[in-house]
Structure 1
């Protein structure tokens, strides 16, 4: 599936109710996990101590922070769609989010997204997306949820 280009609220509305696509895979590295731990001050050993994680967790490896995987949403969404002619994009809401499976270090994840609805808020597009972060080789996704972006298109 090729990347969808959207330049206006009206163009976005045309995709309401459709699966928008799937991103490329992204590998979660230990370096990325370490940097996220530093940025968020969450240095729990299950994310950072490979030897201990190998012997003391059911995962047998360090795992990515759940919020690290969520923070990849805008990046992976931009691989599915190209939203152009924008003043700005705002992360507006996470309506529901369920972490289903831990993401171990060196796993590859990708985003699958469906545009559930689009509302016109006085010229601002409120886009609700059903999102699933898939883990390569796993039947269970890392997470599922509904998120909302606000798109302020240029006139």
Structure 2
């Protein structure tokens, strides 16, 4: 875990690796709960028996967006900015699902701080209630690579944008 004291220290890290997580196992329960939350019940995700027979992967696979949805959890395992009071997912410049994530496989994420710059926004209230001072913010672009243990191609490559407020 990399820890930065403030947004200035974090911004100065642009162009460098933030690190990688430990591997986590992708379970059928995770896939089923994601399907329930999103309404995406395609058999390749939710029917392991059929997937074993008919899928080119010979197993159920995680939804691509399930893999991507793990980014905030995994980023929190990679880095922390001590002065940040709030982070907001702002969007993505690109997302590619380049390989399947079979249920039962182990997944990790690597992250690089591609770019970070002052954003000029304040928190939605316009001021920090405790100090009555406007907050400062940074727009960070982090390249995230999701890797399946033992696979030669990553499962997902995404350039994610986060707004960080101190």
Question: In which range does the TM-score fall when normalised by the shorter chain?
Answer: over 0.9
The answer for the alignment partner of 1:116 in structure 2 is: 114
TM-score (norm 2): 0.88
2 CA distance for matches of 1:136 and 1:87? 34
Residue 59 of structure 2 is aligned to residue 61 of structure 1: yes
The answer for the alignment partner of 1:93 in structure 2 is: 91
The answer for the alignment partner of 2:73 in structure 1 is: 75
The structural deviation recorded for 1:101 is 0.3
Native 8 Å contact 1:24 1:76 kept in 2: no
The answer for the alignment partner of 1:135 in structure 2 is: 148
The structural deviation recorded for 1:14 is 1.9
Native 8 Å contact 2:18 2:113 kept in 1: yes
The answer for unaligned runs of 5 or more in structure 2 is: 121-135
Greater C-alpha radius of gyration: 2
The answer for the alignment partner of 1:8 in structure 2 is: 6
2 CA distance for matches of 1:82 and 1:51? 41
Aligned residues: 151
The structural deviation recorded for 1:86 is 2.2
TM-score (norm 1): 0.94
The structural deviation recorded for 1:142 is 0.4
2 CA distance for matches of 1:4 and 1:147? 18
The structural deviation recorded for 1:84 is 2.2
Q: CA-to-partner distance for each residue in 1:4-59, whole Å, 9 max, x for gaps?
A: 11232101112110011111111100000000100111111111111110010100
1 CA distance for matches of 2:157 and 2:66? 14
**Structure that is richer in strand per residue:** 1
SS in 2 for 1:86: coil
